[in-house]
Amino acid sequence: MKPRQRGGVTADSAHFRTARVGLSNAPVVGWKAAMSLDPIAAKLAGTGVAFAPEIASAARRHGVDPMLLAAVAAQETGGPDSNAGRNVIGDGGHGHGIFQIDDRWHSFATTSAAMEPARNADYAAGMLAGLLDQYGGDVHEALSAYNSGSPHAVGTRTQWADGESVGYADSVLRHYQRLDDQALPETARSTAIAESNATIASVGELHAQAQQLPLQPPAPSLSAPHPHSYARQATDYLQFLSHDADETDSLE
């Protein structure tokens, strides 16, 4: 990825430049936290994008379409027919991180921060945002410049599984289309999350009700009287909730 200096971000840039709200870079711990995962990051992760939270957060900060940014990562370090970029050093030791920031053109790439996925994604998103501004929102020109420094260069060619060899910008856009085709529609995702949250609330309500129920001794047996007296035992109502909780966990 050749040099282009990072530019500013405007609110009305065309094409893939969009303002996204509600994105976060918070770590996800456990299934309950996953339910509140940034929906854009969740959408990317659902298509196999690696480092989805980092990419989504960087896209939000710089006003870039997160799926376009993910497509660049897939092109740089994923390869044809793959949605997942990798945090590697490539290009003969000059390309650093998910977005292969080149140390021959970018001093940032000479620092340890270049191998931190969040900061690598942030740098790439800032540069892509500047190029989109510079070329009037023309995505193809911005991608070509990101790769080679020229908006009209074919750039690095990629051979796809179908045998077609395409230039850098066209290959990124193929990744973009692949991601878009595989992404779960937002309405279906929202419905699934709402249903899961409703189930969680139901389990919590049952748990609260069970805590208020009086303790009852077990019903006497209908068989012959037992020679020993029985001791009053507390009924463990929580055991009846375990099945509901297991079913809730399966919704992850």
Q: Partners of 102 in the beta sheet?
A: 95
Q: What is the pLDDT of residues 127-151, one digit of tens each?
A: 999 999 999 999 999 999 999 888 9
The burial of 63, by beta-carbon neighbours within 10 Å (0-12 exposed, 13-18 middle, 19 or more buried), is given as: buried
For range 69-83, the mean pLDDT: 92
Q: What are phi and psi of 88, to 5 degrees?
A: -135, 170
Q: Number of structural domains, the chain?
A: 2
pLDDT at 44 over 90: yes
Claim to verify: residue 117 and residue 191 sit in the same structural domain: no
Claim to verify: residue 48 and residue 73 sit in the same structural domain: yes
pLDDT at 92 over 90: no
Confidence of residue 26 (pLDDT cuts 50, 70, 90): very low
Instruction: Write down the H helix ranges in the chain.
Output: 30-35, 39-46, 52-62, 66-77, 117-134, 139-148, 168-182, 186-212, 239-249
Claim to verify: residue 139 and residue 75 sit in the same structural domain: yes
Claim to verify: residue 236 and residue 114 sit in the same structural domain: no
Claim to verify: residue 86 and residue 196 sit in the same structural domain: no
Claim to verify: residue 54 and residue 38 sit in the same structural domain: yes
> Long-range contacts for 234-242 (Cβ within 8 Å, ≥24 apart)?
237/210, 237/211, 237/213, 238/207, 238/210, 240/210, 241/203, 241/206, 241/207, 241/210
Claim to verify: residue 49 and residue 171 sit in the same structural domain: yes
Domain of residue 244, residue span: 186-215+232-249
Claim to verify: residue 40 and residue 110 sit in the same structural domain: yes
